Amino acid sequence: MTIERARRATLHGAGDVRIEPWGPPAPGPGELLLEVEAALLGGTVRKVVARGHHARMGTPPFPLGHEGAGRIVAVGDGPEGWDVGTRVVPANSAPCLQCAACRRAMTAQCEDMVWFNGLFATHVIVPARIATHNTYAVPEGLDARTAALAENLACVLKAKDKTPVRLGQPAVVVGGGPMGLLWTWALTLAGGRVTCIDPDPHARERAATFGATSALDPAHVEAPIDAPLVVEAVGTVEAWELAIRLARPGAIVHLFGGPPTGSRVAVDTDHLHYDELTLTASFHHTPFHFAAALGQLGAHGPALSGMIETTIGLDELPAYLASDARHAKVAVVP
Ligand SMILES: [Zn+2]
């Protein structure tokens, strides 16, 4: 199969992203060849590009883009159930479902995870295990950009399972970036009353449109905040420490964002012990949560698509990454 002018974005090192011609092969057994409709750029990609590597994605060069949607243009032998022309969202990982972690239903901790990148491209091959266990048809009427939010939302839904929120209960979300917005929306949908905390006035305004009943500048917040749940959704040491500091006695603090490898946080042991705090954390998503996230996007997509603040062409990606533009999410279309 020859595809004219196929291209993809490859990370060669810190800050070095190149759009390169690529000859996508015919899909092998179990694989799918997609024509990418849209992929999303957010904090994780910025982090990976700045650092030049990622603990789970490997060492450069590797293709970038792990949140996206596309149309099937060719199907390898198997997998059952996929047809040319179907619009799908492939997850960016698939667990083995056989190792000790998978058998404990902790598939995000799979010892043999298949990871998948390369959606900043005109075309991409979906690995067989992902095509079989973690790829989903786009719900009827949902646009590709919004469908691609499934990865981020799946991470939030998995973590939210650890953080019960009751009707009318207050909750604090530290961070008004994409993950903070999804948390704000999900907790609000579950009946919570969310206070979002972010130093950026634009982020605070945005949080209100995702359901936050109040949005505060951390410089003007007095600890503790009277809420049984504090969620950290930034991924810095400062944000983790702030989230813990804001917790009232008995609160659950969910530390969601991933600070740089090797980070250490300082916790006031009196606060943790005498105030009986519970600290929890969550990583990544599961096929169950990925499917649920895409279903929620099918039902509520328009409410969430507002976080995709701009759309750029694939060839514009390197220049965009080098700029200091900071949209919540950016759609990249080939
Ligand atoms: Zn496994």
pLDDT of residue 69: 98
Provide the whole-model pTM: 0.96
Q: Which tokens go with 203? A: 């982020």
**pLDDT tens sequence across 95-137:** 999 999 999 999 999 999 999 999 999 999 999 999 999 999 9
- CA–centroid distance, 99 to ligand 1, in Å, is 4
- CA–centroid distance, 55 to ligand 1, in Å, is 18
- CA–centroid distance, 271 to ligand 1, in Å, is 37
pLDDT of the chain, 334 residues: tens digit per residue: 567 889 999 999 999 999 999 988 899 999 999 999 999 999 889 989 998 887 777 789 999 999 999 999 999 997 778 999 999 999 999 999 999 999 999 999 999 999 999 999 999 999 999 999 999 999 999 999 999 999 999 999 999 998 888 899 999 999 999 999 999 999 999 999 999 999 999 999 999 999 999 999 999 999 999 999 999 999 999 999 999 999 999 999 999 999 988 999 999 999 999 999 999 999 999 999 999 999 999 999 999 999 999 999 999 999 999 998 889 999 999 9
pLDDT of residue 2: 66
pLDDT of residue 81: 87
pLDDT of residue 58: 72
- CA–centroid distance, 132 to ligand 1, in Å, is 15
- CA–centroid distance, 153 to ligand 1, in Å, is 22
- CA–centroid distance, 107 to ligand 1, in Å, is 6
- CA–centroid distance, 139 to ligand 1, in Å, is 28
Kindly list the structural domains of the chain, giving each domain's residue range(s) and its CATH number in brackets, ordered by start. 7-144+286-333 (3.90.180.10), 163-281 (3.40.50.720)
- CA–centroid distance, 103 to ligand 1, in Å, is 7
